[in-house]
Copies of this chain bind each other. A is one copy, B any other.
Amino acid sequence: MTEQLKRATISDVADHAGVSRAAVSKVLRNAYGVSPAMRTKVEESMALLNYRPLALARGMRGNSYTLGVFLVDLSNTFFSVLAEGIRDVAEELGYQVLIGQARQGLEAQQKLIEAMVDRRMDGLLLIAPFGPNEELEKLGRSIPVVVLGRHGPAKHFDTVASDDIAGSALIVDHLVSLGHERISMLANTQPDSEPGMPQTVRRHGYDQAMEKHGLARYIDHVPGRWGTESGLEAGRSLAARPLAQRPSALHGGADVSALGAYTALFEAGIHIPDDMSIVGYDNIPATGLPPIGLSTVDQSGVQMGRQAAELLLSRIEGRTHSEHVLVPPRLIVRKTSAPPRR
C-alpha cells in the first residue's frame, strides 16, 4: 500500500552523481579537495534524493554532531532557560543538543553521563552536577566538558557560573540597607558539597557580607538542600522558632527553596514581607508572578547558556587550556523584601 521509502545513503548519492563515496563525504564535511563542479553536482544529487547523512554512522569515526546536556532537575525552570541558550548557539553550528535528566544521586548521575559517552556525544554540558571535582577532572580528560554552575579552577574542563560571592553580597547589602540585622540563610548543607559548588560559594558570600557589615554574630545557616521540599521544611523550622530567635530576613539560597520557605511561612501565618523579608536567587519565571513577586538575584540564564555552549564548541575544536567565566548577577527587588517592622 503506502510504500516505505528506503532512506538514501551516501552510496546512493555517490552512484547518482557518478563519483566516489569519499567524494560525497568530502562535500558533506566541507573538506579540502573538492572542485566547485563536483560540489554542485553532488549537492544536486543530495537534494534530489532527499539525502540526510545518518548522524549515528558519522559518529562511528568522526563527530556525532551531538552535544549532551546533563540535568538533575528539569522542574527547576532556571535550568530550562540555560538549555535554551545552549541550544541557540549549538544549532547555529550544526550541532544537535540532547538533554538527559538523571534522577537524584551520584550513581544515577554517573550512569547518565556514561550513557552519553556511549552515544559518542562530541561534548558534555553538565548543569549543577554533584560529586567530587576529581571525578569531573577525570571525565574532562576523556571528552570535552563544560560545567555550568560550579566555580573554577579546574584543569580539564571549563566552568560558567554566576558570581555567587557578589550575588550573596547583593542580597545582604540590600537587606542591611533596609535595616535588617538578623539575616539567616537557607544554606544547602548537602553532605557531599565540593568547594566550587554554588551552595558553598553563596554561603561564603553570605558569611563574608555579614562580617563586612559587622553582623557576624547573626550568621545563621538553616540546613537543608535546594528544592521546594527542603525549602518547605526549612520554612516550617523557622516558623517553629521562638520569636526572639527568628530572623527578620532570609537569604533563600535559590528560588526554588525560597519559594518553598515562603509557602511554609505563609501557611504558618507569618506574613511576607511584614514579618519577614525573603530574597531568592536565580530569577526563575514563577518569582515574577505578581501575588508573589519574590525579590531575587538574576543571573541571565540565556547568556550563561550561550557562553557555555561557545566554550564547549571551541573545546571540541581543539582548545585544551581551561577557561572559567563568572557572570555578574543583578539584584531584582520585588515585593518580598521590606524594612523590618520590629
**Closest residue on chain B to residue A68 by CB atoms:** B98
A77 at the B interface (CB under 8 A): yes
* A30 proximal to B (CB < 8 A): no
B60, B286, B289: the one contacting A60 at CB < 8 Å is B60
CB of A22 closer than 8 Å to a CB of B: no
CA distance A60 to B77 in the complex (A): 36
A219 in the interface (beta carbon within 8 A): no
Tell me if A74 counts as interface (CB < 8 A to partner B).
Answer: yes
Binary contact readout A225-266 vs B (1 if CB under 8 angstroms, 0 otherwise):
000100000000000000000000000000000010011001
Check A274 for interface membership: any CB of B closer than 8 A.
no
Contacts of A75 in B (CB 8 A): 77, 80-81, 285
The reply to whether the CB of A315 lies closer than 8 angstroms to some CB of chain B is: no
Complex CA gap A114/B52 in Å reads 9
Residues of B contacting A44 in the complex (Cβ-Cβ under 8 angstroms)? none
Does A166 sit within 8 A of B, measured CB to CB? no
A92 to chain B, nearest CB (A): 12
Residue of B nearest to A74 (CB): B80
Looking across the interface, which residue of chain B has its beta carbon closest to that of A88?
A: B103
Q: Is A192 an interface residue (CB 8 A)?
A: no
Whose C-beta in chain B lies nearest to the C-beta of A138? B2
Let me know if A290 is at the binding interface, CB within 8 A: yes
- Please state if B289 and A263 are interface contacts (CB–CB under 8 Å): yes
The smallest beta-carbon distance between A128 and chain B, in angstroms, is: 15
- Whether A100 is near chain B, meaning CB under 8 Å from some CB there, is yes
B100 touches A96 (CB 8 A): yes
A58 to chain B, nearest CB (A): 9
Point out the residues of chain B lying under 8 angstroms from A98, CB to CB: 68, 98-100, 119
Residue in B56, B57, B103, B289 whose CB lies within 8 Å of A292:
B289
Q: Across the interface, do B77 and A84 meet the contact criterion of CB distance under 8 Å?
A: no
Quick one: CB contact mask for A66-92 with B, threshold 8 Å, 1 for yes?
101000001101001101100100000
**CA gap between A311 and B94 in the complex, in Å:** 32
The contact sample of 27 A-B pairs, CB cut-off 8 A, is A54-B120, A55-B115, A56-B56, A56-B60, A60-B60, A64-B119, A66-B119, A68-B98, A74-B77, A74-B80, A74-B83, A74-B99, A75-B81, A75-B285, A83-B101, A96-B115, A97-B100, A97-B101, A98-B98, A98-B99, A98-B119, A99-B101, A119-B119, A267-B290, A286-B286, A289-B292, A291-B292
- State the A residues within 8 Å of B (CB): 2, 4, 52-57, 59-60, 64, 66, 68, 74-75, 77, 80-81, 83-84, 87, 96-101, 103, 112, 114-115, 118-120, 141-142, 228, 259, 262-263, 266-267, 285-286, 288-292
